């Protein structure tokens, strides 16, 4: 079956969790910084190119720019500059094979918009609205807690009319060990008051929303729109406490939010991806993502994906790249996923554990069909193909 | 060695943790419900047949009823109805290769008794008494805390005369983060009082014992009989908080109970099975089960079993199916275990890491001999062979 | 590449975390006790030889003493006695291929000194000073908290002049869920007072330092020397609560200590090694060890090492044996590591995921070069070669 799959075109990919790419040129240090979740340069004598992700970039991307796989990073970056960021981005994105992008627009930097990304890739895009970013923009123009909360409610409802879904980074800002219930009006107003006052006093730490009461309110506001809600869990940058991003900490919230009908998509998960898969197995409204966990583990992507596919029902697992900044990460995310999934399914079919038709069907589910069903993808912005 | 093993009959299996199967016919929805730990129908557009367990059932069971592997679920269920539940059950159970069953009788439903199971399988059976179920039956006829506690003590001692062991689902009812010590008389009596009063008031939530003081008392009552005590850990239905079923939370209880001489068998464990294996490695009276974790991970059973066999001494690992409701789960549990273990041992022998004679010996230990030693299996009820 | 590597000599190994070996003869029970982290004899009917570690010893060591691999333990031990402990130790250590040893000297028993170990192995050795052991020795001759703290500061500074690094077993003594900050003077003096008073009263439990305030003070004292600091995490003997040795519990300490410039090496980690690798990925001053986790998992060492190499940068992973008591553990630790790493790299190169030159480079980094860089190894004690 592996030979069969390699010989025919792969199914299109729906990337349900990704970000814009940098518009301008990147020097070597800036490029390397996008290969890690760290906020610091690599330790003396080491390099972030010496990682599974770095090696995966050097495997898949040089051939797309006319170089040999595994050529030295400097060689690759020189060729990239020679082509120019725009042309390199176009070549890389078109090669990734993603036809639909759900773009989280809440990250900083001079990044492409969803429309630009879709145009460059020859695909289509929809927006995922990051709740904390939305709250911070509303707070920028709010004077009182009441007006903030009212404007926030309006903003969430307005976003729900066009967005494909919401995303929460409460795991980063506080941890997933939040009280599971919606906050009552009085403590909510008090928390909003405190936050606006801290912002007004010029406290730079207060620019970002980190109060657990406000974070819970954002989660419940999104849940009540019944759009899918993405939740950061597991692996991320050193802002977070990884052990407080264990998706199992969400269990009581998952139970509480179930009656709203809101689908919850647990992003990343690694190294708690088996726990995320368990939640997807036992709660009908919970789904598991396999983005960042594959991109950052490179040659080990198949092993990690296999762990997700232990207890997660196959209708509950969604492909993504979680690409951010570098178009290379779209290539790597897509190729690692396809190679990993093809490898697993080929082995299971060969061993007789799975039927070949089931394997084909599951491949299409995880690559695209599950995301289409969960996000009701039918009115995407079509890019310039 | 793989070829050798395939060519000769496999050693008999002792299934130290299983349940009865449904006596009557099952429609498609009822059958599917036994393929998941979820308490809800599958999400719209998905099916619990699309899981590793569902695929494993479709691999192993259709040939036993005269169909091709991986035939569609509807086809299989139609054939099953055609044969009738009793005949299908008989065929499936006889094919599973289990010769001794230790049956947890504490689950609801119109299920076969241990004797009926043994008869249908052509094997032998012993009972495992579920402590919480025992306490609830005693509470049904108790008026006061003192009479309840006295009758409970009598019931535990009476059960110990015939049962092969006890089982606790304290992980489900509360979590494994219990105070490790036996409760003192006064708080114990107070907890019993509260529970009986809640039951008498008709509170339906009080039917089940969930008070941590009472749960601890049950654990210690069982420990003092010195019969083996099975403890639910890890993976289970959405009643539980998976992170509160990490077997490592039992560490202090394990230390405290050590002087009683009671053997503790940590069931399931997944995804914390490496932690369970660690406990089996460092505490002489602790054992690790590999039941549910293999059944529900299907094509990945070998990978999961390998993780258990990293640090667990080979004299401390016990096979089970954790089958419940469907005779198919006996087939799947047994086949997945045998195939997984054979595959691992064959590879390790081929690579020179293990000697062939050691591999044969370890296979027999895990399949049957460890269970026979731990549960002192010599007076099992012989079924109708 | 596997063939290439097998055909040429392997690179030398720097063992950055190990201990002395027993000087005298060992009977069978004493030998077996070194094969486990348990503090108790194996359960009735079981043996610690029936473990991955036991099988690995029987694979690699008998041929070095002129016997067939996997010969029975009794045969091996008889041959060992025939040769005498000194000669067996010499043969085994010379075969292990370790050229530099960083020896933790804080363990009890009649063990070889670093110099003796280096002499027997034909290598070189440096000392790693165990902080808790140092504090206990200082306490033995201290009368007051002030004199204890002053003498401890002197002892740490003196040790830093010759040692290659420090080691903390705070995970054993308390857990890694320590307050991350350095203790203030008043509570520190109070804790020292309490400890010295308990020791003076003859309380045998007080011989060892276990007060979290004192443990934190030791960590910070070591950090201020800027020598590398090894921290026990994960797998160990039943003194510890494994779940309180999750390296992620160190996250806030890791952040707090970052400005000191002290490198932190997370030892063992198993089964939390993916979390340790994550910390090594996002914090420049954090490194991950792969010692005990490989030795104790035997045939599974490749699978465990692969998990460490998922997100840990390759410049951040360090080989060790964690050998203790038995020279056999040096052989097993070294062979398992080399075989595991060779196997992984060969597969990744064959699959095209890695370039061959990168694989060679990473092999040298993990085997020796990372340790040389982190510990500034240039003035080791040269043994008698």
Helix (H) or strand (E) holding B382: strand B381-382
Report chain B residues whose CB lies below 8 A from the CB of A285: 43
CA distance C212 to chain A (A): 21
pLDDT score of B4 more than 50:
no
Report chain A residues whose CB lies below 8 A from the CB of B44: 373
Q: Distance between CA C367 and CA C304 in Å, rounded?
A: 16
DSSP string, A373-385: HHHT-SSPEE---
CA distance C354 to chain A (A): 6
3-state secondary structure of C120: helix
Residue B6 has a pLDDT of 45
Report the interhelical angle of B145-162 vs B185-200 (nearest 10°). Answer: 100
> Could you give the residue ranges of the DSSP H alpha helices within C163-271?
170-173, 185-200, 212-225, 251-257
Cβ pair A241:C255 closer than 8 A: no
Q: How many Cβ pairs closer than 8 A exist between chain B and C? A: 101
CA distance B37 to chain A (A): 6
Residue B9: pLDDT band by 50, 70, 90 thresholds? low
Residue A365: pLDDT band by 50, 70, 90 thresholds? very high
> Which chains have at least 3 CB atom pairs separated by less than 8 Å from chain C?
A, B
Residue A380 has a pLDDT of 46
Report chain C residues whose CB lies below 8 A from the CB of A45: 315, 373
- Four-way CATH pick for B2-374: 3.40.1710.10, 3.40.50.300, 3.30.1490.20, 3.20.20.140: 3.20.20.140
| Token reading at B50 | 């699309």
pLDDT score of A291 more than 90:
no
Residue B382 has a pLDDT of 47
pLDDT digits (tens, 9 = 90+) for A186-238: 999 999 999 999 999 999 889 999 999 999 999 999 999 999 999 999 998 88
pLDDT score of A385 more than 90:
no
Residue B1 has a pLDDT of 37
Beta bridge partners of C268: C233
pLDDT score of B384 more than 80:
no
Cβ pair B42:A309 closer than 8 A: no
Give C70-75 contacts, CB < 8 A, sequence gap 24+.
C70/B354, C70/B355, C70/B357, C70/B358, C73/C28, C73/C32, C73/C49, C74/C28
Report chain B residues whose CB lies below 8 A from the CB of C297: 310-311
| Token reading at C87 | 């000669």
Residue A188 has a pLDDT of 98
pLDDT score of B385 more than 90:
no
Q: Who contacts C52 (Cβ-Cβ below 8 Å, separation ≥6)?
A: B309, B310, B311, C296, C297, C298, C299, C300
Instruction: Return the closest-CA partner of residue C334 out of C19, C20, C10, C52.
Output: C10
pTM of the model: 0.96
CB B383 within 8 A of CB B115: yes
pLDDT digits (tens, 9 = 90+) for C8-38: 457 789 999 999 999 999 999 999 999 999 9
Query: Which of B275, B283, B284 faces C271 most closely, judged by CB atoms?
Result: B275
Q: Are strands B13-18 and A317-318 parallel, antiparallel or unpaired?
A: unpaired
pLDDT digits (tens, 9 = 90+) for A49-97: 999 999 999 999 999 999 999 999 999 999 999 999 999 999 999 999 9
pLDDT digits (tens, 9 = 90+) for A319-350: 999 999 999 999 999 999 999 999 999 999 99
- Region A125-148: mean pLDDT is 97
Instruction: Return the closest-CA partner of residue B50 out of C187, A161, A309.
Output: A309
pLDDT digits (tens, 9 = 90+) for B325-357: 999 999 999 999 999 999 999 999 999 999 999
Query: Which of B41, B47, B300 faces A315 most closely, judged by CB atoms?
Result: B47
CA distance C165 to chain A (A): 18
Domain coordinates of chain C in residue numbers? 2-374
pLDDT digits (tens, 9 = 90+) for C210-255: 999 999 999 999 999 999 999 999 998 888 999 999 999 999 999 9
Helix (H) or strand (E) holding A317: strand A317-318
């Amino acid at each position: 079956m592996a030979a069969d799959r390699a010989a025919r075109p792969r199914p299109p990919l729906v990337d349900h969790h990704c970000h814009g790419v940098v518009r301008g040129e990147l020097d070597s240090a800036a490029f390397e910084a996008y290969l890690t979740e760290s906020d610091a340069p690599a330790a003396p004598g080491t390099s972030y190119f010496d990682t599974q992700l770095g090696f995966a970039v050097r495997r898949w991307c040089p051939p797309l720019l006319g170089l040999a796989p595994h050529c030295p990073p400097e060689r690759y970056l020189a060729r990239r500059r020679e082509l120019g960021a725009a042309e390199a981005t176009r070549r890389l994105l078109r090669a990734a094979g993603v036809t639909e992008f759900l773009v989280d627009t809440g990250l900083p930097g001079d990044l492409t918009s969803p429309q630009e990304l879709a145009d460059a890739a020859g695909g289509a895009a929809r927006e995922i609205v990051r709740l904390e970013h939305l709250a911070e923009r509303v707070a920028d123009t709010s004077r009182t807690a009441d007006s903030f909360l009212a404007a926030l409610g309006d903003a969430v409802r307005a976003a729900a009319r066009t967005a494909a879904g919401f995303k929460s980074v409460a795991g980063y800002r506080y941890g997933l060990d939040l009280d599971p219930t919606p906050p009552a009006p009085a403590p909510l107003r008090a928390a909003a008051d405190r936050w606006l006052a801290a912002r007004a006093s010029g406290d730079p730490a207060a620019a970002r929303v980190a109060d657990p009461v406000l974070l819970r309110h954002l989660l419940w506001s999104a849940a009540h729109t019944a759009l899918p809600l993405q939740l950061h869990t597991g692996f991320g940058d050193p802002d977070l406490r990884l052990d407080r991003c264990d998706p199992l900490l969400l269990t009581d919230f998952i139970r509480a939010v179930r009656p709203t009908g809101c689908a919850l998509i647990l992003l990343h998960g690694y190294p708690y991806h088996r726990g995320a898969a368990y939640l997807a197995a036992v709660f009908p409204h919970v789904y598991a993502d396999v983005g960042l966990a594959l991109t950052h583990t490179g040659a080990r992507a198949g092993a990690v994906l296999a762990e997700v596919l232990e207890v997660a029902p196959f209708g509950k697992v969604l492909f993504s790249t979680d690409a951010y900044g570098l178009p290379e990460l779209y290539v790597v995310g897509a190729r690692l996923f396809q190679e990993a999934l093809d490898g697993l399914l080929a082995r299971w079919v060969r061993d007789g554990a799975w039927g070949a038709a089931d394997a084909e069907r599951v491949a299409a589910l995880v690559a695209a069909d599950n995301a289409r069903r969960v996000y009701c993808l039918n009115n995407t912005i079509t890019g310039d193909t």
